[in-house]
Structure formats: C-alpha cells, structure tokens
C-alpha cells in the first residue's frame, strides 16, 4: 500500500512540474507551398536575446523587498536579473544544440563560415515570483515565469542580409508542484524553508524556466532542420 501511494505521489509530482511551451508563431495555410529547401548551415549562431530591465519583475519575498528598499538598488537588481537571464539562455541553448549534434556557437565565437542559421529574439517578461513561497508551499504560489519570442534567420553568400525562415513563441512558468512542507513532510519542510530564506537573502538569480525554454527551442530547431533535410 505504501509503495503504491509513493508511486502515485511521484506521478502527481511529475505531472505538476513546469512545462515550457515553444510554439510556432504562424501555421501554414492549407495548400500553401512547402517552404524553400535551404542548404545545411555550416554553423548555428545563437545571438544574445533582448530583455528590457523594465520588463523584469523581481522576487517578491518580503526580505528581498525590504533589502532592496534599504539599498535603493531596484534598477540595478533588474539589470542584473535581465543580464543573467540573457546569458543563461544563450549558454543553455548553445549547449542543448550541441547535445543534439549541431555545430552551435554563441555570436561572439562565430567564424566567417556560411551558410549559417541565426537564432535571435527577445524576452517580453521575466517574473521572478516568490522563491520562498514556491519552496515552502508550492502549488503555483509565488510562481516564476519567462516569456518571449525567437526567430530563425538564414544567411548565405547569395543574400546581403539574413532572412527570417521560422519563429516561435516562448512561455514557461514554475508550475504547480507542491513545496517542501506539503510535498515532503514537516521535517523536510523546515529544511526547505531555511534554504528558501537563505536564498531570498542571497544574490542567486535566473529562474529554472530559462533552461526549459532553451531545451524546447533546441527541439524546435531540430524539427526545422529535419524538415529541411539537414538531418
């Protein structure tokens, strides 16, 4: 009976985990001609995505809000959060593409080789939520979220500028998984609560959704490459 309950709980927790949504921006109309076949790129270049610090919503934990009020550094905190999200996504996407067998590089390391596929875009929202509330209670309380758009642009020697060939909408949140108190028992909950408070007082940033979106974007690029016959 205990084993059955544990297995059921594990399935429930798995289903409650955050899921990144990377969806096409446009759906081809019925009867529309197939997309032009392009030569396989020599490399995939991942550019830095844009994120305006004004679109960052900082962690709402009371301790962090009080600390920022005393320091008067809300603007600096937003800029730091934006920079870490941009760098984190770029690095995670390069890694995910390499794991899938592509010659992927960040824009700063791109060589002169063409043709190349460029991955670029912007984030429209970065919401840090409330990390302490997520860790202790969960079930969607204090949820964090990242949203934006990405596009693929193809550059070859015959064109003067890259041309957009595909685009995706990006969206992910931290989901509704139980926190430490409700998901792991009272003793574990106290440990998680202590960790959450230490995290709220620290400087660690970058929501886990960044990695999920990077993997989802890499999967979409794999689908595009397969449709093009590159794989």
Residue 169 has pLDDT above 90, yes or no: yes
The pLDDT score that the predictor gives to residue 53 is: 93
Q: What is the share, in percent, of the chain residues with pLDDT greater than 70?
A: 60
Q: Reply yes or no on whether the pLDDT at 51 is more than 90.
A: yes
Question: With 90 as the cut, is the pLDDT of residue 42 above it?
Answer: yes
Lowest mean pLDDT, pick from 163-167, 190-194, 222-226 = 190-194
Upstream peptide bond of 88 is cis (omega within 30 degrees of 0): no
Distance CA 186, CA 126 (A): 32
Instruction: Please give the Cα distance from 188 to 178 (Å, whole number).
Output: 13
State yes or no: pLDDT of 5 exceeds 60. Answer: no
Contact 142, 129 (CB under 8 A): yes
Give the pLDDT mean for 73-93. Answer: 90
Domain architecture of the chain: domains with CATH: 38-130+142-174+206-223 (3.40.50)
Q: Any idea which residue has 């076949």 for tokens?
A: 37
186 C-beta neighbours (distance < 10 Å), count? 9
19 or 167: which carries more pLDDT confidence?
167
When pLDDT is averaged across residues 150-161 and rounded to a whole number, the result is 89
Query: Is residue 96 over pLDDT 90?
Result: yes
Are the beta carbons of 113 and 104 closer than 8 angstroms? no
For residues 14 and 23, the model is more confident at 23
Token digits of residue 38: 């392009």
Q: What integer is the mean pLDDT of 127-139? A: 52
DSSP string, 192-228: HHHHHHHHHHS-----THHHHHHHHHHHHHHHHHHHH
Paired tokens of 48:
């830095």
Task: Identify the H or E element spanning 71.
Answer: helix 62-71
Name the 3-class secondary structure at 29.
coil
């Amino acid at each position: 009976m205990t084993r059955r309950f544990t297995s059921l709980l594990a399935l429930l927790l798995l289903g409650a985990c955050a899921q990144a949504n990377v969806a096409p921006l446009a759906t081809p109309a019925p009867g529309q001609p197939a997309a032009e076949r392009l030569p396989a790129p020599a490399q995939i270049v991942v550019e830095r995505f844009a994120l305006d610090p004004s679109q960052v919503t900082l962690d709402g934990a009371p301790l962090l809000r009080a600390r920022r009020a005393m320091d008067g550094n809300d603007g600096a905190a937003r800029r730091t959060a934006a920079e870490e999200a941009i760098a984190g996504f770029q690095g995670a996407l390069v890694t995910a593409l390499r794991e899938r067998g592509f010659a992927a590089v960040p824009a700063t390391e791109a060589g002169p080789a063409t043709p190349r596929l460029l991955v670029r875009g912007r984030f429209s929202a970065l919401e840090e939520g409330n990390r302490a509330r997520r860790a202790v209670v969960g079930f969607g309380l204090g949820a964090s979220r990242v949203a934006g758009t990405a596009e693929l642009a193809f550059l070859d020697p015959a064109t003067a500028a890259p041309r957009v060939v595909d685009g995706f909408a990006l969206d992910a949140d931290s989901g509704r998984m139980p926190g430490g108190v409700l998901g792991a028992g009272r003793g574990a909950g106290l440990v998680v609560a202590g960790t959450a408070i230490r995290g709220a007082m620290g400087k660690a940033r970058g929501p886990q959704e960044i990695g999920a979106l990077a993997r989802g974007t890499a999967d979409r690029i794999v689908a595009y490459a397969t449709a093009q016959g590159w794989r």
